Chain A
Amino acid sequence: MAGLTGRMSTVVKAKVSKLLDRAEDPGETLDYSYQKQVEQLQNVKKGIADVVTAKKRLQMQESSLQQSVVKLDTQARQALSGGQEDLARTALERKNVAQTELQGLDTQVAELEEQQQKLTDSEQKLRAKIEAFRTKKEVIKAQYSAAEAQVRISEAATGVGEQMADVGLAMQRAVDKTENMKARADAVSELEAAGTFDDITQLGGGEDDIDRQLKQLSSQPAVDSELEKMKSELGSGAPRAPAPQIAAAGEAPADGEEAQQPIENGGQA
């Protein structure tokens, strides 16, 4: 913490004095500083837009995962009422993975939301400071001798420069967070691209490589208990006998209703 405190002050002072060294004439320095400040404000706006873009990407993934959860749950029920317990188990494993990813995305979207709000507040504060600087520079130009103006400019520029460094720091933290989230978002994209959350009924009986990996990813006890629960809700064991094909309405009494509300036992969500 001492490191940060010391370092931040050093960086701010170095940057501000660089700005002031650019021009000999105080009047020029003022206009140059102001021009730079306005440019930086644009960068802050762009930074906020980047955070919003990252958030939207995660939100799109969220809604597509939510659809997958509903679909896989429905298919698990249909498979179970059709006596295909293995298929039901596979669907539940995949649903479990999708739900876990969903929880992670939820947290990240909330964090980005918070970052965005903070950056917006900081941007407004910086804008107000820059506006104050603009007013002040006209006063300094009009009222003070060159020597005295130099001192006052330095004070004012330090004040704005520090605010700018502060926004810069907030921006950097937001970018760091966004980078971390990108890794998870990419992982979800890969799962989707691999067909993990696709139509389970198109899989056929064989277990493929994806299935084996998913079994490791998903929490088996959670899948087992959900399967048991689903069985009891369907009002029977798994009738192995003349198994009807996977179809919308099976013979179990509660079936039609269940298919309509598949995520009521979202369980570990």
Chain B
Amino acid sequence: MIVRISGEGQYRLADDDAERVDGLRREALAIVDSGSDEGFVDAFAALLDYVRAQGTLLGDDELQGSDVILPPADFSFEEAGREFTGEGLIPD
């Protein structure tokens, strides 16, 4: 399984890790849905830390799509609460 942390890079994780990653993601998401930011920073950091610790960083010469794309590490609670609307630099 390939997981990208936006702004950081792609990590290769064992397929068995998918469940744990998903669990941590749901925990962070539940906090966002609750509308209170208490615990968000820690929960989100735990998710990213798990990916970094369990995964191996993909080399720059490996060209693969990711199975999961996670927001950047400095992602704020406010940003998490609203949809991203921009489409970046990819040409139409």
Could you list which residues of chain A lie within 8 angstroms of chain B, going by C-beta atoms? 1-5, 7-9, 11-12, 15-16, 18, 36, 39-40, 43-44, 47, 118, 122, 125, 128-129, 132-133, 135-136, 155-162, 164-173
Q: Tell whether A172 pairs with B65 under 8 Å between CB atoms, given A4-B71, A118-B7, A132-B60.
A: no
User: A2, A165, A166, A173 — which one has the most chain B CB atoms within 10 A of its CB?
Assistant: A166
**Is B60 a contact of A122 with CB atoms below 8 Å?**
no
Please name all residues of chain A whose beta carbon is closer than 8 Å to the beta carbon of B71 when the two chains form the complex: 1, 4-5
**Is B64 a contact of A155 with CB atoms below 8 Å?**
yes
Given contacts A11-B88, A40-B91, A168-B86, 18 further A-B pairs with CB under 8 A are A1-B80, A3-B83, A4-B84, A5-B68, A12-B69, A40-B89, A125-B9, A128-B61, A155-B65, A158-B63, A160-B63, A164-B89, A165-B88, A165-B90, A166-B7, A168-B87, A170-B7, A173-B72
Majority secondary structure, B binding face: loop
Assembly CA distance A157 to B70 (angstroms): 20
Residue of B nearest to A41 (CB): B89
Could you list which residues of chain B lie within 8 angstroms of chain A, going by C-beta atoms? 4, 6-7, 9, 25, 28-29, 32, 44, 60-66, 68-72, 75, 80, 83-84, 86-92
Majority secondary structure, A binding face: helix
Please name all residues of chain A whose beta carbon is closer than 8 Å to the beta carbon of B60 when the two chains form the complex: 125, 128-129, 132
**Is A7 a contact of B32 with CB atoms below 8 Å?**
no
Please name all residues of chain B whose beta carbon is closer than 8 Å to the beta carbon of A5 when the two chains form the complex: 68-71
Closest Cβ of chain A to B58, distance in Å, is 9
A-B contact count (CB 8 A): 113
**Is A2 a contact of B29 with CB atoms below 8 Å?**
yes
**Is B72 a contact of A170 with CB atoms below 8 Å?**
yes
**Is B64 a contact of A159 with CB atoms below 8 Å?**
yes
User: B44, B63, B83 — which one has the most chain A CB atoms within 10 A of its CB?
Assistant: B63
